[in-house]
Every structure is written in C-alpha cells, then in structure tokens.
Structure 1
Amino acid sequence: MQWRNSSDRFGLVTGSLHWLMALLVIGLTALGLWMTSLTYYSPYYTSAPSWHKSLGLVFAALLVLRLIWRAATPSPGHLASHKNWERLLASGAQWLMYGAMLLIVTSGYLISTAKGSGVSLFGWFEVPALVSGLPEQADVAGAVHYWLALGLLALAGLHALGALKHHLIDKDNTLRRMLGMRLLNATENGK
C-alpha cells in the first residue's frame, strides 16, 4: 500500500488517520458519557476527565494533520458506479463530520479553559487558556460539545452503514479503497 492517495485508492496515511480518528470518536464519546455520570466519590472522578481532555488534544492534533494531509493529497474520485445522490450525500456527510469535529474540539477546549486554566496533555505539557471568562462559557460550550458529539456519532454511523451498503449490497470498491484491500475491477473506478 502506498503512502499517498492515488487516483483509485486511499493511501496509508489517509487510511490510518481515518481509522484512528474513528476509534477516538467512539472512545471519546463513551468516555465522555461515562465520566459525566461519575460521582465525587468515584476513584475516576478526576482521572477520567484528564484522560478525556488529553485524548481530545490528541484528536485535535490528528484532525489538523488530517486536514493538512487532505489538502496536500487529493482523495480519489467517486466510483463511476456511484449515483449522483450518493456522491452528494457522501460529500455532504463528510464535510458535516469535519465541521462537527472542529466545533467539538473547540467547544471542549472552551469547557476546559472556562476558569482560566490550561489543558494538560497527559501531564507532559499544558496547552494555555487563550479564551476564558466568557459569560456561561462552560455551560454553553458543554451543551454544544455534548450535542455535536452525539450528532457526529450518528453521522459516523450513517457513514459506516453507507460503506457497508457499498461493500455488501453494491459489491463495489468503496470500502476496499479505504481498507487497502485488492480492488475488484480497475475499470469500475471511472478510468
């Protein structure tokens, strides 16, 4: 598998970023929902939010890297077999997910810095609080963070269902291109 995207498949960097970020979306959502249910007496009351914030910073860095990589390495085009509505839906969902991820990261940062404290990355260093003290900053950012995270999870679920539909029902190369699998038929890619 090549590092960069080609005209007919995604490269190793794009695929790795895609799957790592997918795991982080699921993990961060689960961790976020779990940690908000913890009581003051839970042994994880302080460690769970620290892990969530640190992993959120890792996710933010990966998101920036992914957007830079996307600009530097164009994605393969849609398959010739894709219908116009599928192309529009896929592109729309993809940009909605990017927008949601950016807003989730930003709102998470605003929650964490609302009282003027920076955000620690696993205790290695701290990302400073550049914005703090806005009216109801933590509450507003918290609501945005929560609802967008659930929305992103739903969109990602639809994205996964679409990929499975292409793989199992349409039997095309949509999912194979992201997994680095052997492509079924090179002429299908619109060449």
Structure 2
Amino acid sequence: MHYIRQVKNTVSTFGWVSILLHWLVALVVLGMYPLGLYIVSLGYYDPGYRIYPDWHRSIGVLLMLVLCMRLFWRWINPSPRQLSQHRWERLGASLGHLGLYLLLVTILASGYLFSTADGRGIEVFGWFSLPAIPGLALRQEELAAEIHFYAATLLMVLIAIHALAAFKHHFIDKDATLTRMLGLQSENIDDSN
C-alpha cells in the first residue's frame, strides 16, 4: 500500500481533497450530535448554557460551508467506481450516500431556522454573522427544533450503517472500499479501468 498523492479523484481512487472533506465532515457531525444532546440537558443557570449553544451554532455554520465545498468538489470530480459486484449493493450505496447528504442539508437548514427564529442572526465565533431571514421561521422554532433532532438522530443511524458497510467491504469482501477513503490504495488497483 502507498499513500494517494493526487488532488482529484480518479475512476478508482479518491483524491486527498475528497478524503479530507469526507473525514472533516464525519468528525464534526459525530462531535456535534453528543454536543447537541448535552446542550438540551443543560439548565438555564448552568454556565455552559450561554457558551455551548453558541459553539454548536458556529460549528454548524462552518459545517454548512464545508458541506457546500464538498458537494461542489463532488460535482466537478469523477466518482470512483464502486467495487461491489452486486447490483443491490451498488444501489444501496448510492441511496445511502444520497440519504446522508439529504439529512445533512435538513439538519443544517432546520438548525438555521431554529437558531434564527427570534430574528437574530448567528454570530460565528466572532468572525462573522449569518443574518436571519425575517419572517422565514416565524413561530416555527419548535417544529424546526424537532426536525433538527430527529434528522440528526436518523443521520447517526445511517452513519452507523455506512460504517458497518465499509467494514463489511474491508473484512469480508476484502476490497479497497475502506482503504481508498483512508488515503491508502492497494497496489493492484488500476486507474485505466
């Protein structure tokens, strides 16, 4: 095995930009869910009640920017071919990826609507502010918060299935599905296919 050195994807491998964006989104999402659960458990007089929600919103806005970059990068790059020989697995993988993206967009949109329902924008770590859109979520904060929670919980389930599928490819099928997303590539993968 050797490290992938190309920037862009090929038909058989992911480039380092796709790998970096994948793992950045994954780590942020996996950290945001428990942070969100912790925030919900805080009492009004808890010192973290004033700090952690701001962090959660700020990270969410940055995640939205990274997700936009990831979607654009995916649009301008070829997707490496799926290694499964089974049509149902390829269809499942495609639907799973679509579900991951749709849930991420739903979570980010509902989080924005919930956070700006009072008409105030989101201050992002003091660097810049994402303004509220007046009247967009008027009196809809409870609905937006509910959608945000259930979509995030469903995303965690889909992420677990995604990870299990990657481990299945690695340990049972013994193909390069997982290693190529880790930035490693098997010597026998041919880019000419």
TM-score range normalised by the length of the shorter chain: over 0.9
Q: Post-superposition, which runs of at least 4 consecutive aligned residues in structure 1 deviate over 3 A? A: 131-136
2:66 is the alignment partner of 1:77? no
- Aligned residues with identical type, % of pairs: 44
SS class of match (1:186): coil
Confirm or deny: 8 A CA contact 2:32 2:56 kept in the other structure.
yes
| Bigger RCO (CA 8 Å, 6+ sep) | 2
Specify the code of the residue in structure 2 equivalent to 1:60: M
Gaps of 5+ in 1: none
SS class of match (1:44): helix
2:71 is the alignment partner of 1:67? yes
Q: Deviation per CA, 1:19-40: give whole Å up to 9, x if none.
A: 0100111111110000110011
Q: Deviation per CA, 1:122-180: give whole Å up to 9, x if none.
A: 01111000144645311010010000000011101100000001001111010111112
How far off is 1:184 after superposition? 5.2
Once residues 10 and 192 of structure 2 are traced to their aligned partners in structure 1, the CA distance between those partners, rounded to angstroms, is 13
Gaps of 5+ in 2: none
Specify the code of the residue in structure 2 equivalent to 1:176: T
2:127 is the alignment partner of 1:124? yes
Specify the code of the residue in structure 2 equivalent to 1:137: Q
1:93 to 79, 92, 96: 96
Partner residue in 2 for 1:19: 23
Once residues 128 and 135 of structure 2 are traced to their aligned partners in structure 1, the CA distance between those partners, rounded to angstroms, is 19
Confirm or deny: 8 A CA contact 1:17 1:62 kept in the other structure.
yes
1:4 to 4, 8, 21: 8
Alignment of 1:98-177 (within 5 A): 98-132=101-135, 134-177=137-180
How far off is 1:102 after superposition? 0.6
Once residues 174 and 188 of structure 2 are traced to their aligned partners in structure 1, the CA distance between those partners, rounded to angstroms, is 11
Specify the code of the residue in structure 1 equivalent to 2:92: L
Residues paired across the two proteins, number? 189
